[in-house]
Structure 1
Amino acid sequence: MSTKNREWLSWIKVIVISAIIALGIRTFLFTPIIVDGPSMLPTLENGDHLIVNKLNYQIGEPERFDIVVFHATQKRDYIKRVIGLPGEHIAYRNETLYVNGTPVEEPFIQERVESLQEGSHYTHDFTLEDLPGEYEKIPEGYVLVLGDNRMNSTDSRMIGLIPVDQIVGEAQLTYWPLSHFEWKT
């Protein structure tokens, strides 16, 4: 085999191995997603580009306030925030989240709630029993999710609890536009 052919073969090997590694990373570890819609305002804006960590939930469980991407339908993924975890009862009263009867602060929407005009609602009152499925507690293997833009979000209030096995991963990095660059914690 000539030197030129060996060089071409070497380049082809590098390209194939690189493609396999990239495919493996995208399939098992990280994947990009683009925010489509206003349901996560003010945290995420329409058109924000994110990196979703798929590994977190292969070795652990979602935690309260994680921003997750999940399969809402066979053709569409949604991005929302985990509010309720297995074994919990969730209720909203007077703009306050209650987990098992205990008030829990939501700092990511606090500014919007404080700016409401009198008589307005950011999150309408509801209990877990009001949601599809009429559960008294969130069952094992499910979470309750809400968009941060509570007045314009299709979330657990409409579609019910989300099976954990439908979660793609946790949104961990906004990388575009650069003015929105941020690690999510």
Structure 2
Amino acid sequence: MKEFIKNWGIFFVLAAIFIALRLFVIAPVSVNGHSMDPTLADGQKLMTYQLSTIDRFDIVTTEEPDDLDKLAVKRVIGLPGDQVQMEEDVLTVNGTEINESYLEPYKQEFAEDRMQNEYTYNSAFQDIAENADNFTNDFMYEVPEGQYFVLGDNRLISRDSRTFGFVDRSMIEGEVAFRYWPLSEISMINNY
């Protein structure tokens, strides 16, 4: 028995550590769709950190409140108790204007051609873009305690808190920390 423990003990300890990390600390997730373009692309593989505190502008994985079987990748915009407002593509949180520099590539493209070239893969998206007055439709929300307001970066077509409502903290599975696929795009995720 001692010989077995000596030969295999380290393997079992490492396997137990790996399983514990996978169950309680990190989790893989795939981006499904275009709602986080251009920050994250359809089909990319990510690692999430499940023990993270959630801050504004973190990219998180969350269950969708109206379909708990779906796991979405979104950006946290409003924290519990925040007043979040979008008017004429200007975001304000609690009365303070927020610069969303991560949206600049798509906001510029929207200003030039309403995203027609970007959405050549989907005629319904092209119709949405053609009829849009702003890159992000105007809204105003008061975020309830224990809830979060999340948006996709590709605001014209994203299904997010504007559609499915606020996200309870218990639905957020983790903060996206690392992109590991495709190999040519391996990187840490800068949330803002």
Give the TM-score range, shorter chain.
0.7 to 0.9
Match of 1:47 in 2: 43
Match of 1:132 in 2: none
Distance 1:151 1:11, change over 3 A: farther
Match of 1:96 in 2: 90
Match of 2:108 in 1: 114
Structure 1 residues without counterparts, runs of 5 or longer: 129-136
Q: Which amino acid aligns with 1:121?
A: N
1:61-117 deviation digits (Å, cap 9, x = unpaired)? x11110001122432211100011112111111111111232211011112112224
Candidates 21, 27, 30, aligned match of 2:23: 27
| Contact 2:24–2:50 (8 Å) recurs in 1 | yes
Q: Secondary structure at the match of 1:165?
A: helix
Q: Which amino acid aligns with 2:49?
A: N
1:141 lines up with 2:141 in the alignment: no
| Contact 2:36–2:153 (8 Å) recurs in 1 | yes
Match of 1:66 in 2: 58
Q: Report the aligned-residue RMSD.
A: 1.9
Q: Secondary structure at the match of 1:75?
A: strand
Residue range with higher mean Cα deviation, 165-174 or 117-126:
117-126
| Contact 2:106–2:154 (8 Å) recurs in 1 | no
Q: Secondary structure at the match of 1:17?
A: helix
1:181 lines up with 2:186 in the alignment: yes
1:38 lines up with 2:34 in the alignment: yes
Q: Secondary structure at the match of 2:40?
A: coil
2:23 & 2:34 partners in 1: Cα distance? Answer: 27
1:139-169 deviation digits (Å, cap 9, x = unpaired)? 2211100000111211000111101121111
2:13 & 2:187 partners in 1: Cα distance? Answer: 31
Distance 1:15 1:91, change over 3 A: same
Candidates 125, 148, 156, aligned match of 1:151: 156
1:16 lines up with 2:12 in the alignment: yes
1:118-129 aligned at under 5 Å gives the runs: 120-128=133-141
1:18 deviates by: 2.6
Percent identity, aligned pairs only, is: 36
- Number of matched residues? 169
